[in-house]
Chains A and B, each alone.
Chain A
Amino acid sequence: MAGFGESFGLHAQALVLRSQRNEILASNIANAATPNFKARDIDFKSVLSAAAGQGGLQASHAGHISKTQTTDGAEHMYRVPVMPSLDGNTVELSVEQMEFSENVTGYQTSLTLLNRRINGLFSAIKGE
């Protein structure tokens, strides 16, 4: 029988990764005026598929503890600027803000789907 954690599926992991990506993008926006700062980001899709077990660690025994995937192991890549700036800073506010709003929307989507899943579980438990 599947535990509660497993019924949440990929969205539980997506939520953690989205939240970490939010902080990385916030770091970029905070450093928008710092000379020589290089904007960084993670490839959300590949990190999530690693978290989902494709390419990540597989548990072959029931006693194995599942590893919570974080972005610590993920490759932080440097963003390629549309227009290079004189002070060596690669943060472009338009790009960062679009990525940030896309990521926030993704977070809210995962959160909404998780809420529905939890409500479904509650209905099943109450049996009403």
Chain B
Amino acid sequence: MADLNNIFDIAGRSMSAQMVRLNTVASNLANANSVSSSTDEAYRAIRPVFETSYADAAGKSGLATVDVAEIVALDREPMRIFEPGHPSSDKDGFIYQAAVDTEEEMIEMMEASRQYQNTVEVVSTLRSLMMRTVNMGQ
């Protein structure tokens, strides 16, 4: 794993993690209304799993950022709808709709974008402090 030395490492990796989260939300929303002809083929919402990554093994310096450990598909049952006329219905006339909760995804999206904004705010504040420090005594 890359080194974790300063605010730019902390914020950069945290923003990447939030970006992955936003991308999973986009995938989920894009697939929200997709249907398939069996339970196994149906789309299930995916979520990133966040994990703290410390600068040193003991966490002594207090610096930590966040990484995406893995992306998991949620264990939810797709909705079974009786629609015999549908081209992808199974032999009994059922189709299976993707297991995506649209409201939940919207909340995920808002939280991720707020997190992203917070991190950007921290970076711009600290960067302006750094610039003022560089110009110290002038």
User: What chain B residues lie within 8 Å of A22 (beta carbons)?
Assistant: 7, 126, 129
The answer, among A30, A40, A122, for a CB contact under 8 Å with B119, is A30
CB nearest neighbor in A for B63? A27
Q: Total interface residues on B, using CB and 8 Å?
A: 31
User: What chain B residues lie within 8 Å of A33 (beta carbons)?
Assistant: 18, 50, 66, 111-112, 115
User: What chain A residues lie within 8 Å of B133 (beta carbons)?
Assistant: 15, 111
Q: Does B74 contact A (CB under 8 A)?
A: no
In chain B, residues 119-135, which have Cβ atoms closer than 8 Å to a Cβ of chain A?
119, 122, 125-126, 129, 132-133
The answer, among A19, A30, A72, A115, for a CB contact under 8 Å with B65, is A30
B residues apposed to A, CB below 8 Å: 6-7, 10-11, 13-14, 18, 50-52, 59-66, 111-112, 115, 118-119, 122, 125-126, 129, 132-133, 136-137
Contact in complex: B64, A27 (CB < 8 Å):
yes
How far does the alpha carbon of A91 sit from the alpha carbon of B7 in the complex, in Å? 18
A73 to chain B, nearest CB (A): 9
Can you name 17 extra interface pairs (CB under 8 A) apart from A23-B62, A35-B50, A107-B129?
Answer: A23-B6, A23-B10, A24-B62, A27-B10, A29-B122, A30-B14, A31-B65, A33-B66, A34-B52, A36-B52, A71-B61, A72-B61, A76-B60, A97-B118, A108-B129, A115-B137, A118-B137
Q: Total interface residues on A, using CB and 8 Å?
A: 34
How far does the alpha carbon of A122 sit from the alpha carbon of B66 in the complex, in Å? 45
25 pairs, CB–CB < 8 Å, chain A vs chain B: A19-B129, A22-B126, A22-B129, A23-B7, A24-B62, A26-B122, A27-B10, A29-B118, A29-B119, A30-B11, A31-B14, A31-B52, A31-B66, A32-B115, A33-B18, A33-B50, A33-B66, A34-B50, A34-B51, A34-B52, A37-B64, A42-B62, A93-B118, A108-B132, A111-B129
